[in-house]
Every structure is written in structure tokens, then in C-alpha cells.
Amino acid sequence: MPALRTRVYIDGYNLYYGCLRKTPFKWLDVLSLFETQILPSILYRPAPDADPATMALHPDCAIKYFTAKIIESAAKGEDSVSSQAQYHNALTTHCGGRLSFVMGHYRSIRPISISFPPTTRSAGRAIATRSRSGSSRKSSRT
């Protein structure tokens, strides 16, 4: 059976903040990680009695890396913007055409709280308020 051609989709924000932020591995070689560690460890059988299939990164654009450029006002460190640009340039050079960036936009939003005025039916009962983030809390009205 020929190797299964595989594409990898990476969420750069969650990769960094969820896995790399407080580690020495910020300059992660994602191409090598998938080629030598992750894909060989996946056991996929096309049928219950079949031999395991091998997986290989697709020869054209094997990795799609979704990210957004850090804006200066949201940067946590002095060198955050330049470090991100250097990392992206290094990945582009190292991976050649096997990695492409899908650039989004960074947006900073402060959550707000919306309260609804009490009505005659809601007097004395709990009223839910909802913030823009979608979380809700209950406040008691007496």
C-alpha cells in the first residue's frame, strides 16, 4: 500500500500559548517534528485485518500554519514582534515550499458587560447578564 499523503494544519496561537510559551522550544522545527516523530507514530489501518498504513507529508505544501502578526500594542515582550518575524522567516527558508503561512489579523477586544433593565415580571428574581465573550453570570435583584 502506498503511503498516505498527509497535510498538517497548525494553529500558531494555540501552539505557542498552549505548548511553547514557557519552554526553551520556541524555535520548533515543525516540519521535522511531523516527519520524524508524529507521523511515524500514528497507527492507521485501512481495514481491521490490514497492515498499518504509512503516512508521508504531502510533497506540495505539507504544512499550513495559521497565524497573525503580533501588533506592538499587544506584545508581551520588547522583542515579540521581531522574534515572531524571525521565526516565520526561518521556517519559510528551512521548509521551502513545504510550509505556507495563512495570515489572519490580530484583534484585541476588551469584554464588556451588558445589563438588561428589570421588568415587572423579573422584579425580585435573578437576571442573567452576558458579556461579549459569551460567558454569563447571574445577579440577584431585590
In terms of Cβ atoms closer than 10 Å to its own Cβ (0-12, 13-18, 19+), residue 37 is exposed
What pLDDT, in 10s, does the model give residues 77-90? Answer: 788 889 899 999 99
* Grid coordinates of 55: 503516512
What dihedral do alpha carbons 34, 38, 40, 45 form, nearest 10°?
-120
Residue 95, number of CB atoms within 10 A of its CB? 18
Task: Tell me the residue ranges of DSSP E strands in the chain.
Answer: 4-6, 8-11, 55-57, 63-67, 99-103, 113-114, 126-131, 136-140
Residue 63 and residue 30 in contact, taking contact as beta carbons nearer than 8 Å: yes
Give the best-scoring range by mean pLDDT among 27-31, 45-49, 78-82: 27-31
Enter the pTM of the model: 0.68
Q: What is the spatial distance between Cα 33 and Cα 67, in angstroms, rounded to a whole number?
A: 18
CB crowding 11-36: b at 16 or more within 10 Å, else e: ebeebeeeeeeeeeeeebebbeebbe
What pLDDT, in 10s, does the model give residues 91-109? Answer: 999 998 899 999 998 776 6
pLDDT (0 to 100) of residue 121: 59
Residue 130 pLDDT exceeds 90: no
